[in-house]
């Protein structure tokens, strides 16, 4: 039995319900930060500070463009323990990094705003590159923290326990989104209608410092003492490197066509789910004339629906009809939600918009629960960090494309429509997003878990025999 298989044999004694609740705090923190970066800062930069949407989407996309590092960090955490621990040190280092970058983002955003207002191309270029670089460092730190974290979850759970555990952790992610959205709404009420940078900057800076401090503290508490130390870390490094080196890991990743198929599905699914993400709050502002405190609540309604969808999908729908069927139903529900967003824009009914966001979240929760379960089925315990890195790469690349294309398509829609009605440009984005989700449904039909297991087991046996020969 390999080292990783030995670890898999005893996780239920390590991850008690109390420890699971504590470990899930980290996902809650990530959800809170996600709503700040993907929601509040998007809204402030586009609507209050008059940033070009393509600059905002492109800048935030650099966070996701660091996605290839997920595979590297996953393999490093598989192979290089620090003081006998493979996951926790990388989680803490990454958390410290993205907390620092989040605080530094606020002054840089307002320096860029000043350059844009003055109109000199050189300061604008320098500030734009600096902003993209900061978000790139933020994304690098997120990759360093989240990839070992998900690998740790796999390490500490048996195959039977894993779907329920991941469902609970993703529910906490959604709770973090809801809590973050409510906190932002409460904190920014005094900023409704404020566009003066001298008033916005100090308020947002204070808020971000508090958030970063809380996130860092909770992340340390979440992972403290949960990962057991390996007794002979030096020996483990050598053994693990020989078993899951980067060359062998890559040969495993490319051993089954099912990996490419599911990788493609994850890209299309995530893009179809999040293409509207960078423009959603601006949609509420420009079409429904909602203030910051109200548009931020869109994420809270969406998160509440997602939480319900994760629970319904995990406890009822998926066990009854299977993961693939549940994923298809969730994808169709997302398409319906996007069409309903356009309908509510025609009526300008803000209450209707909130209801649609709840349904949209419900659809996202049902689809995400089944997609995550499929992702776990398509992951080898021996290479948990590396495979999590690959699936994280697919999701992050599509999130990056969503941020770039969401803002860029909105600008293109405005250019094509040449209309004073903003709904036309936003509808253009929602319709294209629906077509992408249709493509995801078509690719999903080709996913075959049994074929994946057959291919990878054959390849794993080949690698083991090669090691024995050496």
CA-to-CA dists, residue 160 to 11, 12, 166, 243, 457, angstroms: 11, 10, 11, 25, 19
* Residue 51 and residue 45 in contact, taking contact as beta carbons nearer than 8 Å: yes
pLDDT band at 341 (very low <50, low <70, confident <90, very high): very high
* Residue 17 and residue 164 in contact, taking contact as beta carbons nearer than 8 Å: no
Retrieve residue 270's tokens: 């995530």
For residue 9, count other CB atoms closer than 10 A to its CB. 10
pLDDT score of 342: 94
* Residue 145 and residue 95 in contact, taking contact as beta carbons nearer than 8 Å: yes
Long-range contacts of 126-130 (CB under 8 A, 24+ apart): 128/55, 128/59
**CA–CA distance, 79 with 156 (Å, rounded to integer):** 17
CA-to-CA dists, residue 113 to 26, 35, 279, angstroms: 32, 21, 19
Retrieve residue 125's tokens: 């270029």
Closest-CA residue to 86 (of 205, 227, 202, 289): 227
At 396-451, the pLDDT tens digits run 778 778 877 888 888 888 888 877 788 999 999 999 999 999 999 999 999 887 87
DSSP label of 160: T
Structural domain boundaries of the chain? 18-229+240-469
pLDDT score of 241: 41
pLDDT band at 85 (very low <50, low <70, confident <90, very high): confident
Mean pLDDT across the stretch 155-183? 76
Poorest-confidence range of 178-192, 300-314, 342-356?
A: 178-192
Average pLDDT score over the chain: 80
Please report the DSSP string for 8-72 in residue order.
HTSGGGTS-HHHHHHHTHHHHHHHHHHHIIIIIHHHIIIIIS---HHHHHHHHHHHHHTTHHHHH
Residue 5 has pLDDT above 60, yes or no: no
CATH 3.40.1370.10, domain 18-229+240-469, yes or no: no
Instruction: Give me the phi and psi of 257, to 5 degrees please.
Output: -60, -25
**CA–CA distance, 44 with 113 (Å, rounded to integer):** 11
pLDDT band at 329 (very low <50, low <70, confident <90, very high): very high
Residue 234 has pLDDT above 60, yes or no: no
323 membership: H or E segment, kind and range: helix 323-347
Residue 288 has pLDDT above 80, yes or no: yes
Closest-CA residue to 368 (of 305, 427, 321, 448): 305
**CA–CA distance, 257 with 444 (Å, rounded to integer):** 13
At 436-460, the pLDDT tens digits run 999 999 999 998 878 777 776 665 5
* Residue 334 and residue 274 in contact, taking contact as beta carbons nearer than 8 Å: no
Virtual torsion, Cα 256, 259, 260, 265, nearest 10 deg: 150
Retrieve residue 274's tokens: 């999040």
At 6-62, the pLDDT tens digits run 434 344 445 677 888 888 899 988 888 887 876 677 777 877 787 887 778 777 777
Q: Which residues contact 111 (CB under 8 A, 6 or more apart)?
A: 127
**CA–CA distance, 170 with 164 (Å, rounded to integer):** 10
């Amino acid at each position: 039995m390999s080292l990783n298989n030995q670890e898999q044999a005893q996780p239920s004694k390590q991850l008690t319900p109390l420890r699971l609740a504590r470990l899930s705090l980290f996902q809650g923190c990530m959800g809170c930060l996600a709503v700040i970066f993907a929601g509040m800062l998007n809204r402030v930069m586009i609507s209050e500070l008059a940033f070009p949407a393509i600059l905002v989407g492109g800048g935030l996309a650099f966070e996701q463009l660091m996605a290839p590092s997920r595979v590297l960090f996953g393999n490093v955490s598989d192979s290089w323990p620090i003081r006998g621990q493979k996951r926790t040190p990388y989680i803490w280092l990454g958390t410290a990094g993205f907390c620092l970058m989040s605080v530094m983002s606020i002054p840089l955003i307002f320096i860029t705003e000043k350059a844009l207002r003055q109109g000199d191309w050189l300061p604008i270029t320098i500030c734009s590159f600096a902003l993209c670089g900061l978000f790139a460092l933020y994304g690098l730190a997120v990759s360093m923290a989240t990839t070992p974290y998900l690998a740790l979850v796999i390490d500490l759970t048996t195959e039977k326990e894993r779907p329920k555990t991941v469902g609970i952790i993703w529910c906490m992610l959604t709770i973090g989104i809801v809590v973050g959205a409510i906190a932002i709404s409460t904190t920014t009420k005094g900023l409704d209608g404020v566009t003066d940078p001298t008033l916005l900057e100090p308020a947002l800076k204070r808020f971000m410092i508090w958030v970063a401090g809380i996130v860092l503290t909770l992340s340390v508490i979440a992972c403290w003492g949960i990962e057991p130390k390996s007794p002979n870390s030096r020996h483990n490094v050598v053994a693990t490197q020989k078993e899951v080196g980067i060359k062998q890991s890559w040969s495993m990743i490319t051993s089954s066509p099912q990996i490419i198929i599911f990788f493609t599905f994850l890209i299309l699914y995530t893009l179809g789910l999040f293409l509207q993400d960078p423009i959603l709050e601006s949609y509420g502002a420009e079409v429904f004339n909602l203030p910051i405190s109200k548009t931020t609540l869109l994420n809270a309604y969406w998160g509440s629906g997602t939480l319900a969808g994760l629970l319904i999908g995990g406890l009822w729908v998926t066990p009854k009809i299977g993961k693939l069927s549940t994923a298809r139903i969730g994808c169709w529900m997302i398409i319906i939600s996007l069409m309903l967003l356009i309908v509510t824009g025609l009526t300008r009914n803000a209450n209707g918009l909130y209801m649609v966001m709840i349904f949209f979240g419900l659809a996202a929760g049902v689809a995400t629960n089944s997609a995550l379960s499929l992702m776990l089925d398509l992951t080898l315990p021996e290479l948990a960090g590396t495979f999590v890195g690959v699936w994280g790469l697919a999701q992050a690349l599509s999130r990056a494309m969503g941020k770039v294309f969401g803002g860029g398509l909105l600008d293109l829609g405005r250019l094509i429509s040449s209309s004073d009605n903003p709904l036309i440009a936003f509808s253009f984005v929602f319709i294209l997003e629906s077509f992408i989700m249709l493509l995801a449904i078509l690719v999903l039909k080709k996913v075959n878990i049994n074929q994946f297991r057959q291919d990878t087991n054959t390849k794993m046996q080949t690698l083991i025999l090669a090691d024995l020969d050496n």
